[in-house]
Structure formats: C-alpha cells, structure tokens
Amino acid sequence: MTFKEFIAYMDKNLTSKDTFYEKALEDQLARNARRAPAKRWNETKLDRAVDKLWVELMKNVYDKFKMTIRTQSSDPYQAWIDYIEKTEALENLDDMMIDLEFN
C-alpha cells in the first residue's frame, strides 16, 4: 500500500479524523491568539497547518506499519488491510484520537 492509498483508506475508515481536526484546530487557534496581531495567521493558513499535522500523524503511523507488514505477498494492498483489521488498528487509532491532547 502506498502512502497515498493509506491516507485515502484512513480518510474513509477512521471515524476520529474529525475529532483530530477539531482538537488540532483548537490548538492552532490558541497558538494564533498568542502571536502578535500583525503575525496572526488567516483561516486558510490555519487549515493548512491542521492538514499538515494530519499528514504527519498518518506518515508516522504508515512508517510504523510499513516496518511490520510483509509486502512480498501476492496482494500487498490486501496485506495492509489484513494487518489493520487483525491488529484492530482503526479502533486503537480512534481511541488514541479521543485521548489526544495538544500542548
């Protein structure tokens, strides 16, 4: 599974993505409020920062999975799906997002 496929799969199947975005945006708004008025980010830049945090998180998860999943199978994409289902990764990530705190 490529990283692009992984992101698409997570976007479709991870129920806590909205929770992550809410918490990340709340954090970015708090950071923005501490900036000097002239240096405050507009809404577009805040949204891009949150998107970047999401991609970084997914990249970290992808890299951890990539070290474990055997890609030599006849269907590497299915090997990823099987691993995600077997380890209950979606459920674990959902739980993690609920408990996630930004500092």
Q: Is the pLDDT of residue 70 over 80?
A: no
Condensed to tens digits (0 to 9), the pLDDT of residues 10-53 reads 999 999 999 999 999 999 999 999 999 999 999 999 999 999 99
Q: Is the pLDDT of residue 69 over 90?
A: no
Which pLDDT value is given to residue 26? 95
- Pairwise CA distance, residues 15 & 89, whole Å: 12
| Beta carbons of 80 and 1 less than 8 angstroms apart | yes
Which pLDDT value is given to residue 21? 95
Which pLDDT value is given to residue 36? 96
Alpha carbon distance, N-terminus to C-terminus of the chain: 32
For the chain, how many residues are written?
103
CB-side exposure of 26: number of CA atoms within 13 Å?
A: 10
| Beta carbons of 46 and 28 less than 8 angstroms apart | yes
pTM for the whole thing? Answer: 0.87
- Pairwise CA distance, residues 76 & 35, whole Å: 46
